[in-house]
């Protein structure tokens, strides 16, 4: 960088520390834009391949020359996928939907109540109990899948929706997040509710929850995504194909003897679709949730 541009840049930075972009000249600005554009194109390649393959025939996918995009889109692949008896794809989608929704609702209910109790209801041993919750944060759920499987199989919950959903509801981390949130909830609102004769329970449902919907939505979005995308636990629990979630079904495609590329990619595309919707319409809460939690799951 020459002294002149450096000088000019320094003055620009002094004027506006945040928007220093482009002050280095049109060339720098264009370079920046080009670099970002190239990166963005690379990030979109997998989506391109997904859509292309999902709407092609196997002959087009495996053809001698690379076909950029099928001229005739094979929407019939969708019907063929759901008629395919080798992998119960429709069943797995249904399982995933049930698990995703119940996992989200259950986690939010159980963990928010506990978080509120720990944050706001005075009890002699509350801090000891809170430490007992914090200790579980040290042991990530992924490492405990062996003991969890041992327990769940003793309960006879293998291959059941119960086994898929219930053990995952009691997230110490989600409880912790709710507690932290409720600690910052304005006390005046609750006190007003108590004046009106509401107990803790009434104040919680009538005042606290309706005023916390943004936070609930953020946690719900993150919880749903991690539930929908979870693989290890559903793999362990779903020994019978009827208990597979969509992720386990996709995984089984990769090890099948017969490979029908167009069906595999159509299945993958359909499995991503619900999350693309979540992403497009709930992005605000998703970003907020990430900023608040720093995790995806």
Partner 1 sequence: MPTTTAHDVPRSAPAPAAAARPRRFRRNPSTLAFWLFTGPFLLGLLVFVYVPIGWSLWLSFFEARFTVTPDTFVGFDNYRQMLENGDFTGSLLTFTVFAALIVPLTWALSLALALLVNRLRLLRAFLRSVFFLPTACSYVAASLIWKMSIFSGVRFGLMNTVLGWFGIENTAWLADPDPPWYWLVIVTARLWLQAGFYMILFLAALQNIPPELYEAAAIDGAGPGWQSFRHITLPQLRATSTAVILLLLVAAYQAFDEFFNLLSKTTWGRPPLVELYYTALGQEQDYGAGSAGAVILTLLICGVTLLQGRFMGFGRGEDAG
Q: Pick one of 27, 68, 124, 257: the residue that binds partner 1 (CB under 8 A).
A: 124
Q: How many Å apart are CA 73 and CA 147, to the nearest integer?
A: 47
Binders in 129-168 for partner 1, by CB under 8 A = 129-134, 136-151, 153-154, 166-168
Tell which phi-psi region holds residue 260, choosing left (phi > 0), alpha (psi between -120 and 50) or beta. beta
Placement of tokens 């907020």 in the chain: 288
Q: Pick one of 26, 40, 85, 257: the residue that binds partner 1 (CB under 8 A).
A: 40
Q: Is 117 in the site for partner 1 (CB under 8 A)?
A: yes
Total Cβ atoms within 10 A of residue 99: 21
**Do residues 225 and 283 lie in contact, with contact meaning Cβ atoms separated by under 8 Å?**
no
Binding mask 227-246 for partner 1 (x = CB under 8 A): xxxxxxx-xx----------
- With respect to partner 1, which residue has the nearer C-beta, 90 or 119? 119
Distance of CA 89 to the CA centre of its chain: 21
Among the listed ranges 81-89, 188-196, 208-216, 266-274, the one in contact with partner 1 (CB under 8 A) is 266-274
Within 55-186, where are the H helices?
Answer: 58-61, 76-83, 89-120, 126-137, 145-154, 161-165, 172-183
Q: Is 205 in the site for partner 1 (CB under 8 A)?
A: no
Q: Pick one of 86, 214, 256, 283: the residue that binds partner 1 (CB under 8 A).
A: 283
Q: Pick one of 32, 189, 192, 213: the residue that binds partner 1 (CB under 8 A).
A: 32
Closest residue by Cα to residue 245 from 259, 257, 231 = 231
Placement of tokens 């995984």 in the chain: 251
Q: How far is the CB of 230 from partner 1 (least distance, A)?
A: 6
Among the listed ranges 47-55, 70-78, 79-87, 208-216, the one in contact with partner 1 (CB under 8 A) is 47-55
Q: Pick one of 108, 207, 225, 263: the residue that binds partner 1 (CB under 8 A).
A: 225
Total Cβ atoms within 10 A of residue 257: 5
Q: Is 206 in the site for partner 1 (CB under 8 A)?
A: no
Q: Is 43 in the site for partner 1 (CB under 8 A)?
A: yes
Q: Pick one of 69, 75, 94, 279: the residue that binds partner 1 (CB under 8 A).
A: 279
Q: Within 13 Å and on the Cβ side, how many CA atoms surround 27?
A: 3
């Amino acid at each position: 960088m020459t002294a002149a541009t450096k000088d000019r840049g320094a003055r620009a930075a002094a004027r506006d520390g945040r928007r220093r972009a482009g002050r280095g000249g049109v060339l720098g600005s264009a370079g920046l834009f080009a670099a970002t554009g190239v990166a963005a194109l690379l990030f979109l390649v997998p989506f391109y391949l997904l859509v292309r393959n999902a709407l092609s025939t196997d002959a087009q996918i495996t053809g001698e020359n690379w076909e950029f995009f099928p001229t005739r889109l094979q929407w019939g692949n969708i019907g063929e996928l759901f008629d395919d008896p080798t992998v119960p794809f429709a069943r797995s989608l249904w399982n995933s939907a049930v698990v995703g929704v119940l996992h989200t609702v259950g986690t939010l209910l159980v963990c928010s109540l506990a978080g509120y109790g720990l944050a706001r209801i005075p009890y002699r041993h509350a801090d000891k109990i809170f430490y007992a919750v914090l200790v579980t944060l040290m042991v990530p759920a992924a490492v405990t899948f062996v003991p969890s499987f041992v327990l769940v199989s003793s309960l006879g919950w293998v291959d059941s929706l119960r086994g898929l959903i219930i053990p995952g509801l009691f997230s110490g981390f989600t409880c912790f997040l709710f507690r932290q949130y409720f600690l910052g909830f304005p006390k005046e609102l609750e006190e007003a509710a108590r004046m009106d004769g509401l107990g803790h329970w009434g104040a919680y449902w009538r005042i606290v929850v309706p005023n916390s919907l943004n936070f609930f939505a953020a946690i719900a979005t993150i919880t749903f995504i991690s539930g929908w995308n979870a693989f290890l636990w559903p793999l362990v629990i779903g020994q019978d194909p009827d208990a597979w979630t969509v992720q386990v079904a996709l995984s089984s495609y990769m090890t099948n003897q017969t490979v029908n590329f167009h069906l595999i990619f159509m299945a993958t595309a359909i499995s991503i679709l619900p999350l693309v919707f979540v992403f497009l319409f709930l992005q605000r809460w998703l970003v907020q949730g990430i900023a608040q939690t720093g995790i995806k799951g």
